[in-house]
Amino acid sequence: MTAATLLMMLASCSKNEGPQIWEVTPETSYVCFSADGLSILFTDEWMDEPATFTVTVPKKETWNVTSTQPWVHIAKTKNTFTLSADPVDIAPEPAIVLVKSGKYVMRSLFVKQEAALSVYPLNPVVFSPQGAADNETFHVYANRYKEWDAVSSQSWLSVSKNADEGTFSLSAAANTSTTASPPATVTVSSGTATPIVIDVTQEKPELTVTPSGTSLVFAVNGYGATLDGKPLSGSNLFYFNISTNINAPGITVTSPVYWIHIGTLTVNGVLTEFSVSAIPNSSYTPHPPGTITIKANNTDLPPVIINVSQIPR
């Protein structure tokens, strides 16, 4: 049937018959069943009643309704059809329901059904060593069995459940060791629904100083220095960057060496850089060697130690 023919039939009217129209009401193209099959999202709101459609076709015309998926049950009468679904734990493949009169598609319906259990957001969580993460709160939709639980597999990861709001939050104990916390999972379960597993990890504490090296040697006049034998950029002031994933205000840079000067740079309360300069040695007695210690306090991390010396005159 061509579009022109359809328009002619829509506009035609005989002496004994009303307008020749095709119509499916209500006018919606989307139906969503709850996991228990008892509720539907229909005409923009959830209802606890069947999804029933009324079909109007021109006199002497016939119509039919079909589904691309067998889980959508269709009960057809002369002028109506009703959609229904059985309870499920896992969401089935969405279906397309077609209402046709001859070759003419009067309505195409997208039909889906929720899983018995869903969690949002559903992505891995990474905690910093001090226990901070971007997404610590999750929303749980127990669509069939209503009751649900969330359990952590590791003692360093805690789960706080709020059943009234349908949420749970995660918190991590601070990691002050030199190794990463063992990987954890949070398992969300509800009835016989397939459990949902969220992967959770925690970074190990790290303290990095760049450029890296263990032996800093100054020239006798303080102009020029090498780190592990490689010349450092700069003339008499040499800079080192501090990179860390722990609470930076707890980092200190100290040295007992009297003939060097250490300056520090703090940005928004975070120690990010330090500089080292040396007093020229005008005597024939070499300056005594010493060390610079970069330490992450309140952790078990070993300090970064740089040995300091000066070429004798």
Mean pLDDT, to the nearest integer, of 209-230?
96
Q: What does each C-alpha distance from 297 to 176, 177, 270 come to in angstroms?
A: 10, 12, 14
Q: What pLDDT is stored for residue 268 in this prediction?
A: 80
Residue % of the chain over a pLDDT of 90: 66
Give the residue with greater pLDDT, 148 vs 313.
148
pLDDT-derived band at 15 (thresholds 50, 70, 90) equals very low
Q: What does each C-alpha distance from 174 to 129, 183, 295 come to in angstroms?
A: 6, 15, 18
The reported pTM is: 0.69
pLDDT-derived band at 247 (thresholds 50, 70, 90) equals low
Per-residue pLDDT for 249 more than 80?
A: no
Mean pLDDT, to the nearest integer, of 145-154?
95
69-102 pLDDT, tens digit per residue, is 999 999 999 999 999 999 999 999 999 999 999 8
Taken in order of first residue, the domains within the chain and their CATH numbers are 3-113 (2.60.40.10), 117-202 (2.60.40.10), 207-310 (2.60.40.10)
Whole-angstrom distance, CA of residue 40 vs CA of residue 113: 9
Extract the tokens encoding 127.
Answer: 């905690």
Q: What pLDDT is stored for residue 157 in this prediction?
A: 95
Whole-angstrom distance, CA of residue 209 vs CA of residue 294: 8
- Strands laid side by side in the 215-218 sheet: 230-231, 225-227, 215-218, 304-310, 290-296, 251-254
pLDDT-derived band at 248 (thresholds 50, 70, 90) equals low
Q: What pLDDT is stored for residue 241 in this prediction?
A: 96
28-44 pLDDT, tens digit per residue, is 999 999 999 999 998 77
Mean pLDDT, to the nearest integer, of 234-239?
92
